[in-house]
Structure 1
């Protein structure tokens, strides 16, 4: 079934829905737990096309100005990785994808992280491998990659860890005793725009 897409206009306060016919893949929904990132005027999601004998991960894009969908191929060494463990972010002005391999069901075991950046936007030949690191035990879930090359991880029992790749060791570790999945780190941008500006019901109330 073709998915329904809704675009909300802050200026008009109206949602517009339609069924797109330009999806570049055999439709496979993106789970809430998967990451998305707004970059270069487009929204990006990790998606996965399921096929007999395996699956193929890629990046789905939606251009906010043209309202058109597109796709970006991942590096060959990430295409067959489980899409659920891929995370999108922006580092040093480049679209970046992080793959995390961790032991399942909290069993002891090694963990690994593959981090790649697209040096030239939408040029799939420009994917560059930043880090491919392995650890003998579980280091946690990647929360954010810092501009200075460090990585923030959230582990079990709410541990927030910062690993400095240049120094080669963890600088800090804080325990807050919360569920791991409850830890979130994100960025924000200040704006003077009002989300309810232009809403018809607001204007009607003011007229009264």
Structure 2
């Protein structure tokens, strides 16, 4: 309920900034669309969590995968007023990525990291030998949602994004390494 309340508060915020009877300004229209896009993503995650399912993980060409991720991150970047960049690093592995499944993790992890990345967030992808790698910078701290499930304090409330991040990370066998200002996620290829 807390997550849904945040979405509704975002919609109310746009309504409060719009004079009564006036049409939405382009800026407020973009904010409203961003709030609704994030709300739809949240409901999709909640549905998967409730049903115990995961999104499709079919392989996609790397260029297409990154372009879709960048597009899905635009609403979040607008809401946080921080740019999010997605770029490829060269690697020895094939540049194919596991579709919506890994993209949903990247999007949810970015949601956990953006509050700490006020100047913007960079996500670098690398097709390593036997693994996919995502590097998030800056990541000066490891939010609780990105800590292994056993390390989260007992009874600590987790929002849907936090639960989703942990669920997908566990399903993918993902490992996290925080080094300096960045966080590297390594996902073994099947």
TM-score, reference length from structure 2: 0.29
Asked which structure has the greater RCO (Cα within 8 Å, sep 6+), the reply is: 2
Identify, as 1 or 2, the structure richer in helix.
Answer: 2
Q: Structure 1-normalised TM-score? A: 0.27
Based on CA coordinates, which of the two structures has the bigger radius of gyration? 1
